[in-house]
Amino acid sequence: MSNFDAPPPPEQPPYSQPQYAQSPQYPQNGQYPPSQNAPAPVAKGIAITALIIGIVALLLSFLPVVGIMVGAIAVIVGIVALVMRQPKRFGLTGLILGAVAVIINVLVTVLFSLLAGSFVKEYDRLQSPATALPAPDATSENGTENRVEATGAPVALGTSIVGTDYTVVINSFTPNQTAEVLAADEENFEPEAGNAYAVVNYTVTYTGSAQGTPLQVGVRYVTAAGEILEMEDTFAIAPEPMLPLIDVMEPGASVSGNIALEIPAAADGTLLVNAGGNHEGSLVAIR
């Protein structure tokens, strides 16, 4: 090679292929993968309803019967909510509140029934006893025998009428006392047409072992036709000395006084005296 020969030109490096972004891959046959949807919300309407009814039941638990009904509904709705897998905190709370309301209401209902029964029993005890008319034996105040066979025959004024816990003596019966009764208290009413006020004076002695009250003794008027007029039917204050009907009596204590009875003006009947709640009753002649 001569000095004038030129060196061969350098080899050109190979051209690299340019990198292009891959084209997006499209699904074949137009099919797309399923989309990822958000989970459906859990229904909770029944559970919330159970909770609301349970709260209402608890508020009404002190009303007899009503609280039981509402509480039972809360329990049923709460069970339905739990079975349907609704939010447990609502359904279970409503169920528990309903059950508690039912328990409270049962106790309140029982207590209310006991109190009502006791009140009715006490009211009946304070009222005049039944209107049976047999005449039991009686003893006069001076201790001599003045007994009447149980034939229903009236006993005389001043006869001691002996009951289980009380002894009653009708001291006097004064008819046609309308003017005197009206003068005794300005709030006393005029008797009905054909009627008049009568004044009965009697003595009550308590022979029981606890405490008594004259109100437990019944003094009523029996008309000639057999109609019984209750002492409670006469809303009038008697002239003094008035019988203290509500006084508390210790064993052996006695009280005396007047009561007013509105009766037919003819005053041709008899008195019916019940010496305490268990006494059947004795008729007392007023003439």
Specify the pLDDT at position 36. 53
Structure-model confidence comparison of residues 81 and 32, the more confident one: 81
Specify the pLDDT at position 170. 96
Q: What average pLDDT does the segment 28-36 reach? A: 55
Tokens 């006393």 correspond to 188
Specify the pLDDT at position 11. 61
Please, which pLDDT band fits residue 153 given cuts at 50, 70 and 90?
Answer: confident
Specify the pLDDT at position 47. 80
Residue 232 has pLDDT above 70, yes or no: yes
Specify the pLDDT at position 102. 87
Q: Which of 7-11, 49-53, 97-101, 143-147 has the lowest mean pLDDT?
A: 143-147
Specify the pLDDT at position 149. 33
DSSP 188-207: PPPPPTTEEEEEEEEEEEE-
Give dist(CA 97, CA 76) in Å, integer.
12
Phi, psi of 108 (to 5 degrees): -65, -40
Residue 254 has pLDDT above 80, yes or no: yes
Give dist(CA 139, CA 148) in Å, integer.
9
Structure-model confidence comparison of residues 22 and 277, the more confident one: 277
> CB neighbours of 198 closer than 8 A, spacing ≥ 6?
173, 174, 175, 176, 177, 221, 260, 261, 262, 263, 267
How confident is the model over 194-210, as pLDDT tens digits? 999 999 999 999 999 99
pTM of the model: 0.48
Structure-model confidence comparison of residues 151 and 6, the more confident one: 6
Specify the pLDDT at position 42. 56
The top-scoring range by mean pLDDT among 70-79, 108-117, 153-162 is 153-162
Structure-model confidence comparison of residues 71 and 239, the more confident one: 239
Please, which pLDDT band fits residue 105 given cuts at 50, 70 and 90?
Answer: confident
> Which CATH architecture group holds 138-285?
Sandwich (2.60)
> CB neighbours of 9 closer than 8 A, spacing ≥ 6?
none
Residue 131 has pLDDT above 60, yes or no: no
Residue 30 has pLDDT above 70, yes or no: no
